Structure 1
Amino acid sequence: MTQNAQAGGHGSGPGTLSRWFQRRMNARTNTRIRRKGGRVMGMDLLILHTKGRRSGQPRETPVTWFPDGEDTWLVVASGGGNAHPDWYANLMAHPGDVAIELPGRGTVPVRPHRLDGGEREQAWQRVTTAQPRYEKYQRKSKREYPVIRLTVR
């Protein structure tokens, strides 16, 4: 759902208008998840609660998730483009301040763990089997998408 698209600014990050639009769309999607459940385009969504890496302000971002056992979820930091999405940077900066919100379950504190090596490859296979579009997105990017396991604390 989140994009790091630049709107009319210079530099490597999103412009002010793009950030405003992104936050507005995220808020709308979060409201939809809370009211009707989290399924969009055949993918399950959760609301990822993080703390802004610079501002320290709470952030809520709709993110696609994949089951990874009981009380464990996988998320992929795709975000479009060749830069990691803001939510990923926030997650890595403040891993102790992360929670997820699932329809019908409420907010659950989680511990993020970025997967590497064989562990990432196994998880990536499960993700791309469930949603082949992620393989297509990955081929278009110059960076390897991080795969993060979220486990209940």
Structure 2
Amino acid sequence: MSVGKSVRKPWLPPRWFIRLAWSMHRRLYRTSGGRAGLWRPRANGWGALRLTTTGRRTGQQRSVIIGYFEDGPNLVSMAMNGWGAGEPAWWLNLQAHPDATVELVDGQRPVRGRAATGDERSRLWARWREIDKGLDAYAALRPGETAVVVLTPRPAAESGSG
């Protein structure tokens, strides 16, 4: 650490507040019939999409709204669980059943989820760092590495399983 420069732990709202905010976002999406709550990524920002996975234990469809950015035809998110400990359920579901569906502002798309590794992970992490300057500090709050999740398009003919 350099002299005269203090390292501050990033501030996060209490867990109950984060969960309430997620709940309110989902309610906004539902009550608007899907007209509000999703948006395309901005020039140097992220967007919001609705991801529908297959539950790893129940086999039931589960949906969540997550942040993303575009990397060519792929959509990239982070399995961050609000920067809390543990993996988000949607990421555990994707690991068990990689085929899923995303809903974007302009419609639905079948995708296959996977974790970025190696140079790809480093490149995508650096892109997230451009969007969120506090990324590394927030990630340090988690007990393990935060997965960078890549959602790759899959042919519509395969979409019956997700």
TM-score when normalising by structure 2 = 0.71
Give deviations 1:55-80, integer Å, cap 9, x for gaps. Answer: 111111000001111x2110100012
- Residue in structure 1 matched with residue 110 of structure 2 by the alignment: 109
- RMSD (Å) for aligned C-alpha atoms: 2.6
Give deviations 1:78-135, integer Å, cap 9, x for gaps. Answer: 0121201111001111112x010001x2111001121112210111000111122332
Give deviations 1:17-45, integer Å, cap 9, x for gaps. Answer: x8xx7985463153359213524xx6411
* Alpha carbons of structure 1 residues 140 and 29: separation in structure 2 relative to 1, 3 Å: farther
Taking the TM superposition and a 5 Å limit, the aligned residue runs for 1:57-76 are 57-69=60-72, 71-76=73-78
Aligned residues: 132
* Alpha carbons of structure 1 residues 22 and 130: separation in structure 2 relative to 1, 3 Å: closer
- Tell whether the 8 Å contact from 2:29 to 2:37 is kept in structure 1 after alignment: no
Q: Are 1:91 and 2:91 an aligned pair? A: no
SS at match of 1:48: strand
Consecutive unaligned residues of structure 2, counting only runs of 5 or more, are: 1-14, 40-44, 155-162
The alignment-based identity, stated in percent, is 33
SS at match of 1:111: strand
* Alpha carbons of structure 1 residues 23 and 45: separation in structure 2 relative to 1, 3 Å: closer
Give me the whole-angstrom Cα distance separating, in 1, the residues matched to 2:120 and 2:33.
30
Q: Are 1:51 and 2:50 an aligned pair? A: no
Q: Which runs of 4+ in 1 moved over 4 A?
A: 21-26
- Residue in structure 2 matched with residue 30 of structure 1 by the alignment: 29
SS at match of 1:65: strand
TM-score when normalising by structure 1 = 0.75
SS at match of 1:35: coil
* Alpha carbons of structure 1 residues 88 and 26: separation in structure 2 relative to 1, 3 Å: farther
* Alpha carbons of structure 1 residues 94 and 29: separation in structure 2 relative to 1, 3 Å: farther
Give me the whole-angstrom Cα distance separating, in 2, the residues matched to 1:147 and 1:66.
11
